[in-house]
Amino acid sequence: MSAARLIAGFFAFALQVAMATHAYGAEPSAVEIGGKAIFRTKCGVCHMAGGTGTFMLERRLGKSQALLEERRDLNAAFIARVVRSGIQSMPRFSRAELPDRELQAVAEYLARNSGGS
Amino acid sequence: MQLVLPPGLSTRRFTRALAAFEGVVGREWVLATDEDRETYLDIYAPGDERAHAPAAAVCPSSTEEVQAIVRLANEYRVPLWPIARGKNFGYGGAAPAMPGTVVLDMTRMNRILEVDAKLGYCIIEPGVGFFDLHDHLARNGIPLWMGIPGNAWGSVIGNALERGFSSSPYGEHCSSLCGLEVVLPTGELVRTGTGAMSNSATWPLFKYGFGPSWDTLFVQSNFGIVTKAGMWLMPEPEATLSMNLRVPRPEDIAWLVDTLTPLRLQRVIEHNVGITSYMGSATLSSQRVEWHEGKGALPDSAVKAIMEKTGAGWWNLSLRLYGLPEVNEAHRALIEKAIAPHPDVRLAVTRWRRGEPHNAAAAPRPSVFPLQIVNWHGGRGGHIAFSPVLPADGARVLEQLARTRQRYAEFGIDYSGTFYICGRHVINVNLMLYNRDDADLTDRTRRLFRTLVTDAAAAGYCEYRTHLTYMDDVARTFDFNDHALLRLNETVKDVLDPNGILAPGKSGIWPRHLRGRRT
């Protein structure tokens, strides 16, 4: 895929992000916010279609493994560890940026198709 | 990650300080586990990231909490390293200069307090990111545009305070700040400009107030913690016109600088012009192994292959015109006339008008895709940049290019440069990419960096911004009258921050009791 197409794909996604509502403010529970919404607002900028994380995962693991939301082999504990420790070139997320309850919701959301967490 | 205590503090006293911080922000927002400390390390460090290891982080949600933390830090002698969102990638991320410093993380202070569409400004807190502000403007249909840097994950205020910039008419982000609210190192709260009036009607509108103007005191410094700022935003133009240019040879940079600088000074071109080498395309879309597997800098054959396959020139740039369509077309004609004598320039024009669907000439949108560059070598990637400031003069820019490429070749590093024409000066961002697990490569990168600092200083060029590791090196190059500026900075530091608790080592400025730590 060309860089131009990738960037165009990213911009399409950025529009989705721009139209989304950020999960800031009164800190409702993870259940209320939902792992999907948190993932899309705090992780999606890199890990949805056209994102730099998706690009690198496709390079490393192949197209079928590139989009985290479609993966069927993710373990919630592994996701939590990666988010806090980083992996390859992915930066770490502190608890200020992604509190434990939000991280748990994201991890459970991404592991939902993987037969348990 | 093992705890590194602040200098001079016992474990017991540090534990008591953390308990006191918990009394201000709540237990949840004092982050002091091994894992917490790890999350504030510099993930792209050119070497051992523990060289800048934090002792903990404390995360206030308001200015009042920042004041309370600062007062406690004075009481317990705990050094604090303020961060807005901690995405200062390539310059140290969220990590402090001095190991054992506690990060004061203002990520939770993310309120957009005011946006005025008529007068074109916003008042925001440090935790507001470029995505947040862009989202707010888009969701509310506010016709104001932002200057957005390459990595847009970070804080709007944080980027401006580090003198970050972008290629838009409001791209000198520091210059767009108007009115700061600052917690001084003693905990006292001040507002700059007309914000010093308790009922000011012009705080985000008029920068200077009455008497001395203090705003720049808090830029790239450790003299205060900015907790709110006014930021000017650009009214949406009637139309834009984008001109993408590429030229085929390295020496064309001199012609580009000498051709475009007059147009920049005449304000035909109203933004900083970034001129990027072929590596810009290559690092965004590919990895090194696709072009060359050997050690040493990329050979000419690989450069040629990159240019052929990606369609990039040796140099590539995008000019944008903003305003009434008729004026844009007149300026386009002036630019085309100026570049016409060059036989090999390639030009592509895109137009956009208000109300039309988004395209390449429309409002910029935040992205983190440029972080892709860190994957160039594979593995755990990293990047730093050496960015000297030169006169906007083609001959001197060409000399700088030749000297820098020679140094990259000597150290076996792939050259990746951008020259930003910013008016009378040019900022030359020289990117260095590495795999953090390749000790030889990171060692060569560190040695190259220090060599470039020395070379630039010998030519009379300073650096506009630097990584934590090199702050003392760069500060030392300001050597007029036996480093009188550093003495002034540290005299001010000792007066404003008598206990030396705020960001020791930032920009090479150390408090009295820690000056022995200068590298």
Mean per-residue pLDDT, B69-86: 98
Considering Cα of B146, then B149, then B155, then B159, what sign does the dihedral take?
A: negative
Q: To the nearest whole angstrom, how far is the Cα of B130 from the nearest Cα of chain A?
A: 11
Neighbours of B324 (CB within 10 A): 12
Q: To the nearest whole angstrom, how far is the Cα of B206 from the nearest Cα of chain A?
A: 31
CA nearest B284: which of B313, B255, B246, B310? Answer: B310
Mean per-residue pLDDT, B352-363: 93
Structure confidence at residue A23 (pLDDT): 36
Per-residue burial over A20-56, b = 16 or more CB atoms within 10 Å of its CB, e = otherwise: eebbeeeeeebeebbbebbbbbbbbbbbbbbbbbbbb
Mean per-residue pLDDT, B124-151: 96
Mean per-residue pLDDT, A6-16: 37
Structure confidence at residue B197 (pLDDT): 97
Q: Which of B372, B373, B383 to mutate to test the interface with A (most CBs of A within 10 A)?
A: B372
Q: What is the mean pLDDT of chain B?
A: 97
Structure confidence at residue A116 (pLDDT): 53
* Token digits of residue A46: 């890199």
Mean per-residue pLDDT, B295-315: 96
Q: To the nearest whole angstrom, how far is the Cα of A13 from the nearest Cα of chain B?
A: 10
Structure confidence at residue B454 (pLDDT): 97
Q: Within an 8 Å CB–CB cutoff, is residue A14 touching chain B? A: yes
Sheet-wide strand order for B102-105: B30-31, B56-58, B102-105, B80-83
Record: contact A88-B358, CB cut-off 8 A: no
Structure confidence at residue B336 (pLDDT): 97
The answer to whether residue B380 scores a pLDDT higher than 60 is yes
Q: What is the CA radius of gyration of chain B?
A: 23
For residue B263, the number of C-alpha atoms closer than 13 Å in the C-beta half-sphere is 24
- Encode pLDDT of A85-115 as tens digits: 999 999 999 999 999 999 999 999 999 998 7
Tell me how far apart the alpha carbons of residues A22 and B135 are, in angstroms, rounded to a whole number: 9
* Token digits of residue A108: 């459970």
Tell me how far apart the alpha carbons of residues B46 and B377 are, in angstroms, rounded to a whole number: 14
* Token digits of residue B471: 């702050």
Strands (E), B254-368: 273-277, 315-323, 346-353
Considering Cα of A28, then A29, then A32, then A37, what sign does the dihedral take?
A: positive
Confidence of residue B504 (pLDDT cuts 50, 70, 90): very high
Q: Which amino acid appears at position A111 of this protein?
A: A
Q: Can you tell me the ipTM of this complex? A: 0.92
**Cβ contacts of A11 on chain B, cutoff 8 Å:** 358, 365, 367
Tell me how far apart the alpha carbons of residues B1 and B51 are, in angstroms, rounded to a whole number: 12
Structure confidence at residue B430 (pLDDT): 98
Mean per-residue pLDDT, B23-51: 97
Q: Which of A2, A48, A83, A89 to mutate to test the interface with B (most CBs of B within 10 A)?
A: A89
pTM: 0.93
CA nearest B6: which of B372, B518, B502? Answer: B502
The answer to whether residue A8 scores a pLDDT higher than 60 is no
Record: contact A85-B38, CB cut-off 8 A: yes
Judged on CB neighbours under 10 Å (0-12, 13-18, 19+), B7 is middle
Question: Do B273 and B260 meet the contact criterion of CB atoms below 8 Å apart?
Answer: yes
Residue of B76, B121, B464, B470 marked active site:
B464
Q: Which residues pair with B426 in a beta bridge?
A: B390, B421
**Cβ contacts of B284 on chain A, cutoff 8 Å:** 3, 6-7
CA triple B379-B380-B382, angle to 5 deg? 120
**Cβ contacts of A92 on chain B, cutoff 8 Å:** 38-39, 41, 43
- Encode pLDDT of B463-481 as tens digits: 999 999 999 999 999 999 9
Record: contact A95-B39, CB cut-off 8 A: yes
CA nearest A69: which of A38, A101, A96, A23? Answer: A38
Q: Within an 8 Å CB–CB cutoff, is residue A93 touching chain B? A: yes
Mean per-residue pLDDT, B234-244: 97
Q: Within an 8 Å CB–CB cutoff, is residue A89 touching chain B? A: yes
Q: To the nearest whole angstrom, how far is the Cα of B34 from the nearest Cα of chain A?
A: 11
Cβ-Cβ contacts under 8 Å between A and B: the total is: 107
Structure confidence at residue A10 (pLDDT): 35
Closest CB to B374 among A20, A24, A89: A89
* Token digits of residue A98: 């992604």
- Encode pLDDT of B444-455 as tens digits: 999 999 999 999
Neighbours of B49 (CB within 10 A): 20
Tell me how far apart the alpha carbons of residues B177 and B184 are, in angstroms, rounded to a whole number: 18
Mark whether B424 is an active-site residue: no
Mean per-residue pLDDT, B347-352: 96
Q: To the nearest whole angstrom, how far is the Cα of A73 from the nearest Cα of chain B?
A: 22
The answer to whether residue A9 scores a pLDDT higher than 60 is no
CA nearest B386: which of B424, B415, B421, B422? Answer: B415
Closest residue in chain B to residue A44, using alpha carbons only: B368
Structure confidence at residue A115 (pLDDT): 74
* Token digits of residue B273: 């012009």
Q: Within an 8 Å CB–CB cutoff, is residue A15 touching chain B? A: yes
Lowest mean pLDDT among A5-9, B38-42, B267-271: A5-9
Query: B90 — alpha (psi -120 to 50), left (phi > 0) or beta?
Result: left
Q: Within an 8 Å CB–CB cutoff, is residue A26 touching chain B? A: no
Q: Which of B30, B66, B89, B367 to mutate to test the interface with A (most CBs of A within 10 A)?
A: B367
